[in-house]
Amino acid sequence: MSDLRAELTEILDEAEWEWLIPHVQRDAVILVAIELNLVDVGVAIASDKIPSVQQWIDEQLITKPTTAQVGEWNGDRSKRFNTLIVQPYVLAQEITAVSAK
């Protein structure tokens, strides 16, 4: 498990909205709330920790992007996200002005 955590930590990256568009179009992007640790979510998904993942879904802490969000981000193509690839998904966490400081 620690190897998985280390591997995911190493591939954690930052991406502009432009890069995520093709993944949104194939319905592969999962938005992760800022309250959650992106690596923790990646480990839970990759390890099939269904109770944790289901709880986050129920609490709407991990969601698919809404049409309104996609429209907003299309208007700001420089929007940035922390991203983590956990096949077949791309986990994305919006970088807000507060979290960028």
For the segment 82-100, what is each residue's pLDDT rounded down to a tens digit? 999 999 999 999 997 654 4
What is the CA angle 99-15-95, rounded to 5? Answer: 15
Binning pLDDT at 50, 70 and 90, where does residue 68 land?
very high
Q: What is the pTM of this model?
A: 0.90
Give the total number of structural domains in the chain: 1
Structural domain harbouring 16? 2-100
User: In the predicted model, what is the mean pLDDT of residues 39-67?
Assistant: 97
- The Cα–Cα gap between 23 and 53 comes to 20
